[in-house]
Chains A and B, each alone.
Chain A
Amino acid sequence: MKVMNCPLNGPRNISEFVWGGEVKPMPDETKLSDREWAEYVFLENNTAGVVREWWCHVPTSFWFIAERNTVTDEIVKTYPASEVFKARVDFAPKSERAKP
């Protein structure tokens, strides 16, 4: 079985993981038209080559980031999402957001 290195749990069988799709920066939804939001949600780069993706280790519900070659099926590296996302993302509607 293929093995993936989970940043939290170490090397585990690939069947313990779920693929979450490409990492794309979330635009500010308050500034987008419905159409632009749909583009963000649905359109994919679907790159043939090295990509940066979300993966989840299911038994521990740990989401992290993997760099993977989608042509050779090689996992280049895996690391915690905190290496990319420095600040907390607030998903609450704007009116309910905590004031900074």
Chain B
Amino acid sequence: MLPAFLPTGLLKYGLRKKYPAFRYIPGPSELKSHYDVVIIGGGGHALACAYYLARNHGITNVCVLERGYLAGGNTARNTAIIRSNYLTPEGVKFYEESLRLYRDLSQDLDFNILYSERGHFTLAHTDAAMRTSRWRAEVNKHLGVDSELIYPDDIAKLCPSLNMSEDVRYPILGALYHPPGSIARHDAVAWGYAARASQMGVEIHQQTGVTGLVIEGGKVKGVETTRGRIGAGQVMQAVAGMTSVVADMAGFKLPIRTIPLQACVSVPLKPFLDQIIVSGSLHVYVSQSSRGELVMGGSTDPYGLYSTRSTLDFKEGLLGHMLELLPMLGEVKILRQWAGMADMTPDFSPVMGLTPVENYYIDSGWGTWGFKATPVCGKTMAYTIANNKPHALIKPFSYERFLTYSQVGEKGAASVGH
């Protein structure tokens, strides 16, 4: 039996003013009438940008406006895969810089983001996939990224749980192996940036949606919000699935379609899967979280939608293929299923940098692959805002590239692999 004094002791402790609830960011406050920089959206990208504006450029009169709750968009919904084994030199350099920042991020923010290096395997089941893997490995190695094509005997040694049988619909012929591939705790990344940014003076306002922009003579002057108008020297939007809706307030169109991306997790299992496994041909990927859940997903929904509804079709398609890779999951139950709204570009690269409106910047087109880019987006967008010119790493991702036919085609490396 529990001693009677225990619960009352706890209750007293809880009610005493001496131990106030701990908050990472200050509670709600009034909006000021003007900020040097206003950031629309309160996801990981926006918060990282606010952090680097303050830390690297000393710009602290900044506010982040989030219409819902902090980092409740795709930042809260992604499957947290981090890697840099892309296909184009532009992409590889950019994502590699993000990995470099990620490795030190827990130290940098003094906030444990549970960064965990697992090794990332992109399985190839067809000759075409083998060819793309070899191509990616060569581009990666040339740019100093640890990446190689491996064959079934090595895959079987490195991923003992995988079904390597040839007696399946799509036997495994090889894999692109990327040892630095990692996962991290997505919420912690956002909270870490938010906590440190607000310590340096950045204001974060939740439940504050942006409903319009104040533009005079082609220059942005402020934003209309659900809590009134505020003035701004510079404005950036980082709103993922809502990109086109907010850009429409600024008066320009983008090469972006909003398409749901779904994911799910299993009930927690004992740790058995260290690796991150992706199969482009089977449209599935899986890793095991630190809680033991199998985190699983695939490619985007078959049609565009501004909604986060879940479907049975997705689950059926995903799990049918998953059972081919990991047949022992036959009896395992699904615990949760959800969706996010992905802002998809035709070339599977982002749209970042300056816009047709002066002092208005964009970080978008992050589709299904932007969590891994959170630190580098924050850093390069902060630079772009502070200097009013695009950072060298993001020049290839400008909005202009579509109008000058200079796309950065990453479909081969990003469509299911994220």
Which of B183-191, B200-208, B254-262, B291-299 contacts the other chain?
B254-262
With a cutoff of 8 Å between Cβ atoms, the chain A residues found around residue B254 in the complex are: 43-44, 46
- Kindly state the separation between the CA atoms of A42 and B253 in the bound complex, as whole angstroms: 10
Contact A19 B302 (CB under 8 A): yes
Within 8 A of A (CB), among B318-361: 346
By DSSP majority rule, is chain B's interface helix, strand, loop, or mixed?
A: loop
B302–A14 contact, CB under 8 A? yes
A15 to B304, CA, bound (A): 14
Q: How far is the CB of A97 from chain B (nearest CB, A)?
A: 26
Known: A38-B402, A48-B245. A43 touches B312 (CB 8 A): no
For A11-53 the 0/1 string (1 means CB < 8 A from B) is 0001101110100000000000011001100111111100000
Contact flag A42-B313 (CB < 8 Å), given A19-B302, A19-B304, A73-B307: no
- Check B255 against A42 for contact (C-beta < 8 Å): yes
Query: Cβ of A71 < 8 Å from any Cβ of B?
Result: yes
CA gap between A60 and B171 in the complex, in Å: 31
Contact assessment for A39 and B403 in the assembled complex, using a CB-CB cutoff below 8 Å: yes
Is the CB of A92 closer than 8 A to any CB of chain B? no
B19 touches A (CB below 8 Å): no
Q: Is B5 an interface residue (CB 8 A)?
A: no
How many inter-chain contacts with C-beta < 8 Å in the A-B complex?
65
Q: Is the CB of B244 within 8 A of A15?
A: no
Known: A35-B403, A73-B309. A43 touches B303 (CB 8 A): no
Determine if B258 and A46 form an interchain contact, defined as CB atoms under 8 angstroms apart. yes
Interface string of A53-93 (1 = CB under 8 A from B): 00000000000000000111100000000000000000000
Is A1 in contact with chain B by the CB < 8 A criterion?
Answer: yes
B13 at the interface (CB under 8 A from A): no
Q: Roughly how many angstroms separate A15 CA and B243 CA in the complex, as a whole number?
A: 27
In the docked arrangement, what's the CA distance between A3 and B402, Å? Answer: 35
Pick the most buried of B245, B255, B304: most chain A CB atoms within 10 A of its CB.
B304
Judging by beta carbons under 8 Å apart, are B402 and A70 in contact? Answer: no
Given A43-B254, A44-B244, A70-B306, A15-B313 contact (CB < 8 Å): yes
Q: From known contacts A19-B302, A38-B402, infer whether A44 and B312 are also in contact, taking CB-CB under 8 Å.
A: no
Residues of A within 8 A of B245 (CB): 46, 48
B306 engages A45 (CB within 8 Å) = no
Instruction: Sort A-B residue pairs by CB-CB distance and give the 4 closest, nearest first.
Output: A46-B244, A19-B303, A42-B255, A43-B253
Since A14-B302, A42-B255 are in contact, a sample of 19 more A-B pairs with Cβ atoms closer than 8 Å, ordered by chain A residue number, is A15-B302, A17-B302, A21-B257, A34-B405, A38-B405, A43-B255, A44-B244, A44-B253, A44-B256, A45-B253, A46-B243, A46-B253, A46-B256, A46-B258, A47-B244, A48-B306, A70-B304, A71-B306, A72-B307
* A residues with CB within 8 A of B: 1-2, 14-15, 17-19, 21, 34-35, 38-39, 42-48, 70-73
Q: List chain B positions with a Cβ less than 8 A from chain A.
A: 243-245, 253-258, 302-307, 309, 311-313, 346, 402-405
